[in-house]
Amino acid sequence: MTETLRFVLGDQLTRSLSALSDLDPEADVVLMVEVGDETSYVRHHPQKIALILSAMRHFAEELREKGVTVDYVKLDDTDNTHSFSDELARAVKRHKPKRIVATEPGEWRVWEMMRDWESDMDLPVEIRADDRFYCSRDDFAKLVEDNKTGRMEYFYREMRRRTGLLMEEGEPAGGAWNFDEENRKSLPKGLETPHRMRFHPDAITEEVLELVAARFDNHFGDLEGFGWAVTREEALRALRHFLKDCLPTFGDYQDAMKTGEDYLFHGLISPYLNIGLLTAHEVCEKAAQAYADGEAPLNAVEGFVRQILGWREFVRGIYWTEMPDYVESNFLNAKRDLPAMYWGAETDMRCMSECIGATRRNAYAHHIQRLMVTGNFALLAGVEPRQIEQWYLEVYADAFEWVELPNVHGMVMHADGGRLGSKPYAASGAYINRMSDYCKNCEYSLKQKTGKEACPFNYLYWNFLIENEDKLGDNHRMGLIYGSLRKKSEAEREEITRSAKAFLDGGDWP
């Protein structure tokens, strides 16, 4: 009889996972399952599906090499029920364990499922905390009670103090908590970007790619060119490559965008963090060490660490303290359908075409492309939050609901009314022009503010402010811009509104 059946999910591929911490190879069985429920609850990008399935299969092989018994159910196994709960029930019949151990999941829908397992399986079920994060769910809830999670910046400072990362004698290194002002440079002409490390598929990955190509060929996204790391060893190589070749310049140009440059100096490690091939602790500590060793400047290291220790931990805390009601809010009452260009329909907006094209090719776009181009457009156009949230969840390799939902619902769409961010991240075409070369040779004119030939971001931005003046007009962080809006004549405001309506409705222009 099996002592313990240990259930490991596809985003828990970490040997130090709490569910495996006291694993006895002589008495325990590790259960891993590929189920249709997880590949189809949204129409994931084929590269995302391939990454997770291949990484799962490699992780199972690594456990077996260490003498661990792994019960592994593949997606195309004949008897696969394609449900976590049903596959667990089948495994219980096969192994007759005395108990079940799992680590808490990353998504609410799976958490609700897990809480029924003890009664459904008629066995003791222990669900352990996921200690791969700096801040546990319970710790974050206590910080909420102590009023220390009102804004990410204050949470981030608290985490810096707790961890000692980039701290010197109790004070932040360099005398400041963040160096955002140094991290907003546009790319200078002629700056060379590093060749990015990609990984050639091995036999296991090739088998997965064939399976995904056959089953998910109607999902948005290209499978060709798959080059993600699928093992711990490969993920560590990708991390070393980033730290050595990209991190020193990452800070200066982390907000920059360039035509044909899908990656620039970004880490490309978020998928590995989110499925467990890397841990937040080792990534932040290695980055901090690069600063200590003089291998990367403080503005680059601090900006990178803040994305993980600050934003990543903060949005997870928001997710678990605000769910399940969080998803229901729609502060700006946005109701428009997601435009077809998000699914690859042709558009003359070069910035949108570039960012969506990169997403199709790579299951990846960096944070400014997501926030200030595709996200900014959805915000200004008044897209229904659930539709754009589902799009982000489907198309990016690093997207899991715990991290995707707060970022899109709160940061991109301001649908939570300010729980995550104090103001909407809204911008006109001027911002995109300043941070990219997308506006060059675009069919639309950045100089024109309204009319058929004008950059849509220009009039959509002002129309957004007009439409939401009752909700945002008193926002203290938007006082200057609303002051500018109130100086516009009634005729100017009407022209803005007419241009926005004509573009969004696709009708005749005035």
- In angstroms, the CA 71 to CA 91 distance is 8
Size (the chain), residues: 510
Mean pLDDT of 213-220: 96
pLDDT of residue 378: 98
Q: Tokens 């516009």 identify what position?
A: 488
Tokens of 303: 């900006």
**Mean pLDDT over each residue of the chain, to the nearest integer:** 95
Sign of CA dihedral 137, 139, 140, 146: positive
Query: Does the domain made of 137-202+224-322 have the CATH classification 3.60.15.10?
Result: no
pLDDT of residue 165: 97
pLDDT of residue 189: 87
To the nearest whole percent, how much of the chain has pLDDT over 90? Answer: 92
pLDDT of residue 510: 61
Q: Sorting pLDDT into bands at 50, 70 and 90, what band is 441? A: confident
Q: Sorting pLDDT into bands at 50, 70 and 90, what band is 391? A: very high
Tokens of 52: 């997770």
The residues, ordered by sequence, that sit 6+ positions from 176 with a Cβ below 8 Å of its Cβ are none
One fold for 4-128 and 137-202+224-322: no
pLDDT of residue 392: 98
DSSP, collapsed to helix, strand or coil, labels residue 31 as strand
| Candidates 3.40.50.620, 3.50.50.60, 3.30.360.10, 3.30.420.40; CATH matching 4-128 | 3.40.50.620
pLDDT of residue 389: 98
The residues, ordered by sequence, that sit 6+ positions from 285 with a Cβ below 8 Å of its Cβ are 165
Mean pLDDT of 395-422: 95
Mean pLDDT of 297-303: 95
Calculate the CA 470 to chain-centre distance.
Answer: 31
Greater pLDDT, 45 or 189: 45
pLDDT of residue 61: 98
Greater pLDDT, 329 or 1: 329
Mean pLDDT of 197-215: 97
Q: Sorting pLDDT into bands at 50, 70 and 90, what band is 508? A: low
- In angstroms, the CA 209 to CA 54 distance is 8
* 195 CB neighbour count, 10 Å cutoff: 9
pLDDT of residue 334: 97
pTM: predicted TM-score of the whole model, two decimal places: 0.95
SS (H, E, C) 459-491: HHHHHHHHHCHHHHCCCHHHHHHHHHHHCCCHH
Measure Cα distances from 416 to 313, 327, 388, 419 in Å: 18, 8, 14, 6
CB < 8 Å & 24+ apart, contacts of 339-346? 339/381, 339/383, 342/374, 342/388, 342/391, 343/220, 344/220
- Is residue 44 scored above 70 in pLDDT? yes
pLDDT of residue 220: 97
pLDDT of residue 439: 95
- Is residue 29 scored above 90 in pLDDT? yes
Q: Where are the alpha helices (DSSP H) in 363-407?
A: 367-369, 375-381, 385-395, 401-405
Tokens of 215: 């089953």
Partners of 413 in beta bridges: none
* 114 CB neighbour count, 10 Å cutoff: 20
- In angstroms, the CA 327 to CA 323 distance is 7
Measure Cα distances from 39 to 46, 68, 126, 210, 258 in Å: 9, 27, 26, 15, 32
Q: Give the pLDDT confidence of 233-291 residue by residue, as tens digits.
A: 999 999 999 999 999 999 999 999 999 999 999 999 999 999 999 999 999 999 999 99
Mean pLDDT of 57-66: 98
Spatial contact of 353 and 359, defined as CB atoms under 8 Å apart: no
Q: Where are the domains of the chain?
A: 4-128, 137-202+224-322, 340-505
* Phi, psi values for residue 101, rounded to 5°: -125, 135
Q: Is it true that the peptide bond before 339 is cis, omega within 30 degrees of 0?
A: no
The residues, ordered by sequence, that sit 6+ positions from 463 with a Cβ below 8 Å of its Cβ are 380, 496, 497, 499, 500
To the nearest whole percent, how much of the chain has pLDDT over 70? Answer: 99
Q: Tokens 């003359």 identify what position?
A: 348
Measure Cα distances from 319 to 141, 210, 418, 419 in Å: 11, 35, 14, 11
- Is residue 348 scored above 90 in pLDDT? yes
Q: Sorting pLDDT into bands at 50, 70 and 90, what band is 1? A: confident
pLDDT of residue 179: 87
pLDDT of residue 180: 81
Q: What CATH architecture does domain 340-505 belong to?
A: Orthogonal Bundle (1.10)
Q: Looking at 77-91, 142-156, 339-353, 437-451, which range is the least confident one?
A: 142-156
